[in-house]
Amino acid sequence: MSLPNRYMHSPVELVNLRDLELIPRLLAAFAWSLKRNELFKVSL
């Protein structure tokens, strides 16, 4: 997961503070959505 930002490789990198505040909620919601023994693999 990454945080959307602007001017990443400069001295004045910018992020939206609201995005920054909501990342823990997003991660928690993802963790709660996982099912026991769920596999993370690509089917070809």
Q: What is the pLDDT of residue 4?
A: 82
Q: What is the pLDDT of residues 1-44, one digit of tens each?
A: 778 888 989 998 999 999 889 999 999 999 899 998 888 888 88
Q: What is the pLDDT of residue 2?
A: 79
Is the pTM higher than 0.85? The answer reads no
Closest CA to 16 of 5, 1, 27: 5
Residue 14, classed as helix, strand or coil, is: strand
CA dihedral sign of residues 11, 12, 15, 21:
positive
Rounded CA separation 7/14 (Å): 7
User: Each residue of 27-37: b (16+ CB within 10 Å) or e?
Assistant: eeeeeeeeeee
Q: What is the pLDDT of residue 28?
A: 94
Q: What is the pLDDT of residue 25?
A: 94
Q: What is the pLDDT of residue 22?
A: 92
